[in-house]
Amino acid sequence: MSKDILHTTLLASAFLLLFGLAELLYHRYKVRAELTRKLVHFGTGFLTLLFPLLLSSHWYVLFLCASFALILLTSLKFKLLPSINAIDRESHGSISYPVAVYGSYLVFEYQSHELVFFYLPVLTLAVCDPMAALFGKRFPFGKFRIGKDTKTLAGTSAFFLSSMVLTIVLFYFMAVPGSFRWSVTLPIALVTGLFSAATEAVSGKGFDNLTIPASVILVLLVLS
């Protein structure tokens, strides 16, 4: 238990340092909020990958996620942390993310600590969602609207392809030596890519931080 408390303290300190760095870049060096927000998104994604390695119970993860959800809610109410919140669109992504991380860890714990149940949903959000945004802005063809949000076929396609590659890579490296089978992995990668890409396309206002990991977990639970 003492190790868990120590690791929880270290992780909490790392998250606070990340928020502090983003605020420093925003206020001191005038870095745009869209960029500092992406920095925080990437940094928190990396730190959450340490949860299965450093924490032995979902209660510690719940403490971390609930604490930072509270910090983010307070910052929204009192207009603090502009490095994260000062964007020109309505978004619930900052609040949805801790919920998704805790939910992913909870499933991982109840699935006999199979790492793919945590890493695939979290990495799909951390890797494929930015890929969709990058390609959607760089190649803005096939535009379509879902509610008030504009999406592109280029972005959705990038999400689908990167999700397939990510799934295959994770299954390959997490498989017991000699047990990897293309005939099993490819269908899972295909369904995961299609379902998560479709989920991203219809999700808006930052709720994709919650719906994307949920869609990946659903596919894993059904196909496993």
Contact between 153 and 144 (Cβ < 8 Å):
yes
pLDDT at residue 92, as a whole number: 62
Q: For the segment 29-49, what is each residue's pLDDT rounded down to a tens digit?
A: 999 988 888 788 788 888 999
pLDDT at residue 150, as a whole number: 82
Q: Of 149, 147, 120, 118, whose CA–CA distance to 54 is shortest?
A: 118
* 49 phi/psi in degrees, rounded to 5: -65, -20
> Could you tell me the two tokens for 147?
């509610």
Q: What is the block-wise mean pLDDT of the chain (224 residues), using blocks of 10 residues?
A: 91 96 94 86 89 96 94 86 72 78 96 95 91 89 81 94 97 90 95 96 83 96 89
Q: What is the pTM of this model?
A: 0.90
